């Protein structure tokens, strides 16, 4: 069972999150003298890997669903963290980043953002962001750069999915020269051979390219969150605890939206030139295609995040603003359709169960655009939205045994469709905006940035 989980980690987590000193980790697993594994890090690796393992293989151990296994492994990792069995801050950073793969429920105030915030704080204290800190061993320098990039990746993915404050300060976001970042394909090649997936070695170069492009996209996401969003929304968690969240700035300038849109489209153009999204003609197999699909979904989610603030400016009726607002509305709709098309392709290829937690968050955001369209007075938008929403709900049902937060999305959509008191106003946010006097506005919001 452990071998299957580690194999899953190597295939579905490590290629786009090279968070381990892989040679050292493998040597310890092989029982080589002088090599050990941190118990905390080992449990965290198992937790992240278990997200992508078929739960039916665990039924003999008393587990009914994949999320039951995840819950158990998260509990073990959390217990080890609370006991402070690990004293190396770098190892703790690795472990906490992997613990963000556990997504218990929406609005969990001690959930992924909690662990991520601690990880980023420890990473900066350990100087992972500081390129001026050099070690005699070049491999150690390479590892620290990769680990800091992993911090940026997890921060971007979690924050854009949960509408939370960008945790990596702008001052240290680009501290490392991106050209110094290196991809260690030798260690991964050895690992894949050890776990009997050596046929994936021909994909190693593409994995590296995907990783580098993901880092660049995540830097852009951090910039978008810092530029267009403010930390002045309130979301109520399940225990009734208010959580501060990001919402678009009402004063967001159209020129900023255009500039950020151009930067993202430039990134996308480069990715197309590299052939990263040519999945139908990919000769390297489904694993690269899966990671490519998630990365493309992230791009369209980022593009939507750039344009959503323009939907708050409907009181401005000048020609330029109205033209940009129509462009933003079209971009939101086309991005949601593209995200759903990608998810549908994964379903057809029987890979939808391998969609990572952040992928479901992006899919949920797209589904709520479809929900909005399905309620439109425009007949074409209504038909398209209803069609896509039906596809979304079908895919959601395939993910309910794996992810708790998918059930929340299904319930929300049902309440809106049934008209059970849920307000769905297309220019508002899901959270309540905090007024300057500290009072909350009374309107409810849609879940478009969920």
The answer on pLDDT for 445 being more than 50 is: no
Alpha helices by DSSP H, 229-356: 254-273, 286-307, 319-348
pLDDT band (50, 70, 90) for residue 34: confident
Task: Please tell me the predicted confidence (pLDDT) of residue 93.
Answer: 98
Determine the distance from the C-alpha atom of residue 163 to the mean position of all C-alpha atoms in its chain, rounded to a whole number: 11
**Closest by Cα among 289, 272, 271 to 280:** 289
pLDDT band (50, 70, 90) for residue 440: very low
Q: What is the mean pLDDT of the chain?
A: 82
Tokens of 19: 């968070």
SS (H, E, C) 59-118: HHHCCCCHHHHHHHHHHHHHHHHHCCCCCCHHHHHHHHHHHCCCCCCCCCCCCHHHHHHH
Task: Show me where the domains of the chain are located.
Answer: 2-213, 223-433
For residue 417, give Cα distances in angstroms to 25, 370, 421: 50, 12, 10
The answer on pLDDT for 429 being more than 60 is: no
For residue 133, give Cα distances in angstroms to 65, 89, 127, 243, 392: 45, 16, 7, 36, 47
The answer on pLDDT for 450 being more than 70 is: no
Task: Please tell me the predicted confidence (pLDDT) of residue 374.
Answer: 92
Specify whether the CB–CB gap between 338 and 300 falls below 8 A. Answer: yes
DSSP letter at 235 equals E
Most confident range (mean pLDDT) of 170-184, 400-414, 429-443 is 400-414
What is the percent of the chain where pLDDT is above 70? Answer: 81
pLDDT band (50, 70, 90) for residue 259: very high
Sign of the Cα pseudo-torsion (336, 339, 343, 348, in order): positive
Task: Please tell me the predicted confidence (pLDDT) of residue 279.
Answer: 66
Let me know if 423 is exposed, middle or buried by CB neighbors in 10 A (0-12, 13-18, 19+): exposed
Task: Please tell me the predicted confidence (pLDDT) of residue 168.
Answer: 86
pTM over 0.85: yes
Task: Please tell me the predicted confidence (pLDDT) of residue 201.
Answer: 66
Q: Average pLDDT in the 426-442 region?
A: 46
Kindly state the helix (H) or strand (E) to which residue 430 belongs, with its residue range. none
Q: Average pLDDT in the 402-407 region?
A: 80
Read off the pLDDT of residues 95-115 as tens digits, 9 standing for 90 and up.
999 999 987 765 565 688 899
């Amino acid at each position: 069972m452990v071998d299957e989980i580690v194999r899953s980690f190597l295939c579905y987590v490590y290629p786009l999150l090279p968070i381990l000193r892989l040679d050292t980790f493998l040597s310890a697993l092989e029982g080589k003298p002088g090599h050990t594994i941190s118990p905390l890090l080992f449990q965290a690796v198992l937790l992240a890997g278990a997200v992508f393992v078929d739960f039916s293989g665990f039924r003999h151990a008393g587990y009914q669903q994949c999320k039951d296994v995840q819950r158990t492994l998260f509990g073990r990792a959390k217990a080890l963290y609370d006991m402070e069995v690990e004293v190396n801050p770098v190892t703790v950073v690795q472990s906490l980043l992997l613990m963000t793969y556990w997504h218990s429920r929406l609005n969990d105030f001690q959930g992924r953002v909690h662990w991520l915030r601690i990880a980023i704080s420890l990473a900066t204290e350990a100087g992972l962001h500081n390129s001026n800190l050099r070690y005699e061993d070049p491999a150690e320098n390479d590892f620290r750069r990769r680990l800091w990039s992993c911090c940026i990746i997890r921060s971007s993915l979690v924050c854009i999915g949960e509408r939370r404050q960008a945790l990596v300060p702008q001052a240290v976001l680009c501290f490392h020269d991106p050209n110094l970042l290196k991809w260690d394909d030798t260690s991964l090649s050895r690992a894949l051979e050890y776990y009997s997936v050596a046929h994936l070695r021909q994909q190693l170069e593409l994995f590296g390219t995907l990783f580098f492009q993901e880092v660049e996209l995540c830097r852009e996401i951090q910039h978008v969150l810092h530029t267009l969003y403010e930390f002045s929304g309130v979301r109520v968690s399940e225990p009734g605890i208010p959580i501060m969240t990001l919402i678009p700035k009402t004063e967001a300038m159209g020129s900023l939206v255009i500039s950020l849109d151009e930067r993202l489209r430039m990134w996308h153009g480069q990715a197309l030139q590299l052939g990263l999204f040519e999945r139908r003609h990919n000769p390297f197999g489904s694993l690269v295609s899966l990671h490519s699909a998630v990365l493309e979904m992230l791009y369209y989610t980022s593009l939507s995040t750039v344009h959503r603030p323009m939907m708050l400016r409907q009181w401005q009726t000048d020609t330029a603003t109205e033209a940009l607002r129509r462009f933003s509305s079209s971009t939101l709709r086309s991005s949601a359709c593209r995200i759903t098309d990608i998810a549908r392709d994964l379903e057809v290829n029987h890979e939808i169960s391998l969609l990572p937690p952040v992928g479901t968050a992006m899919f949920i955001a797209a589904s709520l655009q479809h929900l909005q369209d399905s309620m439109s007075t425009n007949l074409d938008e209504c038909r398209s939205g209803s069609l896509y929403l039906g596809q979304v709900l079908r895919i959601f049902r395939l993910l309910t045994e794996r992810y708790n937060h998918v059930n929340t999305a299904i319930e929300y959509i049902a309440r809106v469709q049934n008209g059970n008191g849920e307000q769905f106003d297309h220019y508002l946010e899901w959270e309540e905006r905090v007024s300057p006097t500290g009072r909350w506005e009374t309107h409810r919001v849609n879940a478009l940035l969920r």
